[in-house]
Structure 1
Amino acid sequence: MTQHSTEISVTACHSALADLFAGLVVACAQLSVSDGDSLRLQLLAEELFINTVDHGFSGKTGAPVHLRLTRDKRGLTLHYEDTALAFDPRQPPPATDDNTIGGLGLALLQGMSQEIGYRRDGNRNIIELLLQETAD
């Protein structure tokens, strides 16, 4: 299978989440990604994006966030890049209990991804999530 990809850029602010979703829907359609896999990608992108805005930029807005969706013989890869504080999604999820709010995002990313890649390049976080495509 030949590798195909598409790119999306949005501003790091909560109001840009709709544009991020719209871009992913178009990208998934261009790459003939199933509806179920498209929804999984949206959920993962939302988790990364909201964490970028809320924690990586501490609510400050305006910086660009770049996504690229690639489809090849290994599956779907969501390439996510921002200039927020360093964040490695491969770290162990924090211990939670019934009274803990939040902290489930890492478990979600790790549980839904076949592989997670991370590197810090200068001031940029570069995260790659590989998803095995489902047959639906």
Structure 2
Amino acid sequence: MTDHSTEISVAACHAALPELLAGLAVACTQLAVAADDALRLQLFAEELFINTVDHGFSGKTGAPVRLSLSRAADGLRLHYSDAAPPFDPLAAPLPEAPGDNVGGLGLSLLRGMSRELHYRREAGRNLVELLL
């Protein structure tokens, strides 16, 4: 059962990142999220968002990105969705060693710092769910 959920929607452009993170900070405060978890959630959201803008939309403004945060019996759930081309962060290869590539480190963060990570494509949107 969800105690509280907040949805945030911003345009997929670099200028909207502060608005997205500010909305997430408010949601964390409303849900009484511990400071270290709030910072981790902001890191996850920033990584997903920047990848959407830079890779999904090649730096051009894209359709809205939606993010919601909820507290449930099993922990905090961050839901992230975008309308960029399909991209499954679970299927993407990770760099073999630090320094091999400029990219891929965010994927390691997402996979390593969350208890669960799920992806699906639905109604033309990438849907990523993280559990802390």
Superposition TM-score, scaled by structure 2 size: 0.93
SS in 2 for 1:63: strand
The equivalent of 1:71 in structure 2 is: 71
- Structure 1 unaligned residues grouped into runs of 5+: 132-136
The equivalent of 1:134 in structure 2 is: none
Q: Is 1:58 aligned to residue 72 of structure 2?
A: no
Q: Is the 8 A contact 2:53 2:62 kept in 1?
A: no
Q: Deviations over 1:30-71 (max 9, x none)?
A: 111111111000000000000000001111104100001011
Q: Is the 8 A contact 2:2 2:70 kept in 1?
A: no
Alpha-carbon distance in structure 2 between the residues aligned to 1:37 and 1:85:
29
CA drift of 1:97 comes to: 4.5
The equivalent of 2:84 in structure 1 is: 84
The equivalent of 1:46 in structure 2 is: 46
Q: Deviations over 1:66-105 (max 9, x none)?
A: 0010111101110001000111111242334535212211
Task: Percent identity, please.
Answer: 66
CA RMSD of aligned residues (A): 1.4
The equivalent of 2:95 in structure 1 is: 94
Segment drifting more, 13-22 vs 83-92: 83-92
Alpha-carbon distance in structure 1 between the residues aligned to 2:84 and 2:129:
16
SS in 1 for 2:130: strand
Segment drifting more, 29-38 vs 45-54: 29-38
Q: Is the 8 A contact 1:96 1:103 kept in 2?
A: no
SS in 2 for 1:21: helix
- Structure 2 unaligned residues grouped into runs of 5+: none
The equivalent of 1:114 in structure 2 is: 115
